[in-house]
Amino acid sequence: MWQVYFKELTELLRDKKTLIFVILLPILIFPVLFGIVGLVMATTTSKAMEQQHRYVIINEQQAPEFAEALFYHKNFKKVDTTLSTEQELVAAIRNNEFDVALVIPADFASRKAAVQQTEWQLIYNRSSQLDFMYNYFDDMLSSYTAELQRATLSQLGVDPANLNAIIKPVQLSRVNTAEQRENLGESMGAILAYALVLLCLTGAMYPAVDMGAGEKERGTLETLLICPVSRTAIVLGKFLTVLTTALMTALITVVSLGVWGAIISAFADLSKVSEALASITVLDLVLMFSLLLPTAAIFASLLLAISIYARTFKEAQNYMSPLTILVIVPLMVAMAPGMELSVTTALIPLTNIALAIKELLKGTADYGLLALIFASTTALACALIAFCVHWFQQEKVLFR
């Protein structure tokens, strides 16, 4: 088994494609991609916050104070129009004549004087995910409404000293008991687990294809089978090689991200994040790696079984493509709001790993549940390894 393992590992290290997928991509490509995505998102958000929106306001004379505040707001530019109906305003926005229309009722001033509630209408395109425009209007309207409340209460003879208590009788202050590490783990834990598990899958995919379907195409599988080594030893040697590349891909990526993070920290103030990361102990890291070990074994055995069954390299890749989707779905479930680690979720494959890594990052992991996850994942991995060994014994599979 070990002879086959070292032989396959040596061949992979001589293969340029393997070096690219297992070493170069984790060290350079993935961190650069993450950096580019983060830069694009930050740039897009910054542009959206600084964007100047063209607006029209109908019946602005009914609320001159609000119209004046809107006119001097840095994110809005007034546009004159003769349109007045909702249908006309909607059509004009769709034709890009302006971005937003605010309709104030024609009787707003009289209803305000009579202390009656009125409804304003904001017409704009809500398809953008970065809906800063509504937030600007909401903030301005909240301030304007508060002033109206004060004026109305004063008009009704309420003592100005009691205005704050009447407008907002209860002031709520929030005290967060969560530590910085818990906040970081809650926001980033599931994402990190998502990345690590997918890296284990991608790190195992190419070597598995090469050692199964690739050997069939090259005609070297028959040569290997006539060697004085049992088929069980052959498949276990190949399995260990795929497992090694899967774990190495995840490990190299984590180390690379850590190095890039340290470089970025030298130029940016990430003291709070660094403080939170510093509280993660060696035991937490060992437990994360321990959970990834049977997970990588599951991927290695599945991918190797698929590769052994496939006739060609391309056929193996076609079979493995749906597996990526099957892996992503339970990882996405772990990101859902309210998903917590429990006895039930600890038995859901892959979802349990993602939740466990998140709890370890938060520092709130239940070691009993971690043991249950490790045991169930290891049992599944052993069953799949046994299946892979059995699969390799079948002549109809090897020589399709």
Span 294-311, pLDDT tens digits: 998 999 999 988 888 888
pLDDT at 335: 82
- Is 253's pLDDT higher than 80? no
Asked if 301 and 239 touch (Cβ cutoff 8 Å), the reply is yes
pLDDT at 268: 55
Mean pLDDT taken over the chain: 80
Rounded mean pLDDT of 227-243? 83
pLDDT at 56: 93
Name the CATH superfamily for 53-167.
Periplasmic binding protein-like II (3.40.190.10)
Question: Can you give the pTM of this predicted structure?
Answer: 0.66
pLDDT at 5: 72
- Helices assigned H by DSSP within 27-156: 30-50, 64-71, 86-94, 108-113, 132-155
pLDDT at 372: 93
Return the minimum-mean-pLDDT range out of 30-34, 70-74, 221-225, 329-333. Answer: 30-34
- Is 272's pLDDT higher than 60? no
- Is 396's pLDDT higher than 70? yes
pLDDT at 210: 81
Other C-beta atoms within 10 Å of 272: how many? 11
Q: From 304, 210, 296, select the one nearest 253 (Cα to Cα).
A: 296
Q: What is the dihedral of CA 146, 147, 149, 154, to 10 degrees?
A: 140
How confident is residue 264, by pLDDT bands cut at 50, 70 and 90?
A: low
- Is 274's pLDDT higher than 60? no
The radius of gyration computed from the CA coordinates of the chain, to the nearest angstrom, equals 31
Domain range annotation of the chain: 2-31+180-398, 53-167
Rounded mean pLDDT of 62-73? 91
- Is 278's pLDDT higher than 60? no
Top-confidence residue, 45 or 147 = 147
Return the minimum-mean-pLDDT range out of 9-23, 308-322, 333-347. Answer: 9-23
- Is 324's pLDDT higher than 70? yes
- Is 275's pLDDT higher than 60? no
Top-confidence residue, 340 or 189 = 340
Q: From 40, 29, 43, 41, select the one nearest 257 (Cα to Cα).
A: 29
**What is the share, in percent, of the chain residues with pLDDT greater than 70?**
80
Top-confidence residue, 283 or 269 = 283
Structure tokens at 145: 């409404």
Q: What number of helices (H) and strands (E) belong to the chain?
A: 18, 4
**What is the share, in percent, of the chain residues with pLDDT greater than 90?**
15
- Is 91's pLDDT higher than 80? yes
Which runs of E-coded beta strand occur in 300-362?
A: none
pLDDT at 159: 74
Return the minimum-mean-pLDDT range out of 67-71, 270-274, 348-352, 393-397. Answer: 270-274
CA 78 to chain centre: 39
Cα dist from 383 to 179, 294, 370, whole Å: 40, 11, 20
Top-confidence residue, 123 or 335 = 123
Q: Which helix (H) or strand (E) holds 242?
A: helix 231-265
pLDDT at 39: 72
How confident is residue 277, by pLDDT bands cut at 50, 70 and 90?
A: low
- Is 379's pLDDT higher than 90? yes
Rounded mean pLDDT of 4-32? 68
pLDDT at 102: 92
Helix 313-334 / helix 180-211 crossing angle, nearest 10 deg: 170
pLDDT at 226: 72
Asked if 375 and 218 touch (Cβ cutoff 8 Å), the reply is no
- pLDDT tens, residue by residue, 196-214: 888 888 888 888 888 887 7
- Is 18's pLDDT higher than 70? no
How confident is residue 179, by pLDDT bands cut at 50, 70 and 90?
A: low
